[in-house]
């Protein structure tokens, strides 16, 4: 299955994860970025900042590919065209799981062998990111209703938005960082089942590097 236009994502092999605080710092850069005035029915500079903070936050928290958030058209090996319009306000549900308040996002996962809907669980306590996601969802819902698309932009525009903040960021960057951070606390099976959604456990294994503190502790214990 390939995307229309034959786009191939950049490799993240060998790219070391940045601290979580660096990702949070990108949100502050949004406030310092100049955005153009409204054109036609477009967004105002304030709305663009709200949207871009929500985009960055959701890319990181969900570890979803950009196309799984904004939409994508692809063709299967059998020639069937599949189209995903992107997540909408109605695709988010607040609930309680295991005594914790969470936000559940339903999105379409596009794989080589199959296409299916999957739920990604986001913690309501995951600040400073979750507040920007909720603010944008509520804003759009109040003005345009449950069927409003969360991000009325294509993948190319998303790349432009994030590269304004850091030119080194590519389309897979946020997913790579989130999975690397979670791999410090989840085993490969949990990483695959809960957020990776890979067809085998092998990709998850590559993210499990272990914390440096764990390694140093192991060195101390190995001395007897």
CA angle (105, 108, 113) in 5-degree steps? 145
Q: What's the CA gap between 155 and 157, in Å, rounded? A: 5
List Cα–Cα distances, 113 to 76, 148, 153, 199, in angstroms.
Answer: 8, 29, 27, 9
Task: Dump pLDDT digits (tens) for 74-88.
Answer: 776 677 777 888 999
Q: What's the CA gap between 101 and 122, in Å, rounded? A: 9
Number of domains in the chain: 2
Beta-carbon contacts of 97 under 8 Å, excluding residues fewer than 6 positions away, are 121
Residue 97 located in a structural domain: yes
Residue 190 located in a structural domain: yes
Residue 9 located in a structural domain: no
212 & 147 share domain:
no
Residue 60 located in a structural domain: yes
Q: Taking the chain, what is the end-to-end CA distance rounded to the nearest angstrom?
A: 53
147 & 193 share domain:
no
87 & 127 share domain:
yes
Domain containing residue 50: 18-166
Task: Dump pLDDT digits (tens) for 141-175.
Answer: 999 999 999 999 988 999 999 999 999 998 789 99
pLDDT at residue number 198: 77
pLDDT at residue number 201: 81
153 & 125 share domain:
yes
CATH assignment at residue 97: 3.90.15
Measured from the Cβ of residue 183, the count of other Cβ atoms closer than 10 Å reads 22
Residue 5 located in a structural domain: no
For tokens 């449950």, the residue is 146
Residue 3 located in a structural domain: no
Task: Dump pLDDT digits (tens) for 16-52.
Answer: 788 999 999 999 999 999 988 866 668 999 999 999 9
Predicted structure pTM score? 0.85
pLDDT at residue number 4: 45
Q: Determine if residue 98 is left, alpha or beta; phi over 0 gives left, psi from -120 to 50 gives alpha, anything else beta.
A: left
Residue 12 located in a structural domain: no
195 & 110 share domain:
no
Cβ atoms of 102 and 96 closer than 8 Å:
yes
Mean pLDDT of 129-149: 97
DSSP assignments along 155-174, one per residue: HHHHHHHHHHH-TT--TTHH
Of 97 and 184, the structure prediction assigns the larger pLDDT to 97
161 & 189 share domain:
no
98 & 36 share domain:
yes
């Amino acid at each position: 299955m390939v995307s229309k236009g034959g786009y191939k994502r950049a490799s993240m092999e060998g790219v070391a994860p940045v601290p979580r605080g660096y990702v949070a710092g990108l949100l502050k850069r949004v406030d310092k970025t100049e955005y153009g005035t409204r054109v036609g029915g477009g967004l105002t500079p304030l709305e663009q900042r709200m949207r871009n903070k929500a985009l960055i936050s959701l890319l990181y928290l969900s570890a979803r590919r950009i196309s799984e958030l904004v939409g994508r058209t692809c063709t299967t090996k059998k020639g069937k065209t599949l189209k995903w319009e992107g997540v909408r306000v109605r695709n988010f549900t607040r609930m309680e799981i295991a005594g914790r308040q969470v936000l559940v996002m339903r999105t379409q996962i596009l794989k080589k062998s199959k296409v299916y809907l999957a739920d990604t669980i986001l913690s309501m306590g995951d600040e400073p990111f979750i507040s920007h996601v909720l603010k944008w969802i509520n804003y759009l819902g109040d003005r345009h209703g449950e069927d409003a698309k969360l991000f009325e932009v294509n993948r190319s525009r998303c790349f432009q938005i994030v590269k304004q903040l850091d030119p080194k960021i590519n389309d897979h960057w946020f997913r790579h960082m989130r999975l690397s951070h979670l791999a410090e606390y989840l085993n490969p099976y949990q990483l695959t089942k809960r957020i990776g959604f890979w067809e085998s456990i092998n990709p998850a294994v590559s993210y499990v590097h272990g914390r440096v503190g764990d390694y140093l502790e192991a060195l101390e214990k190995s001395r007897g």
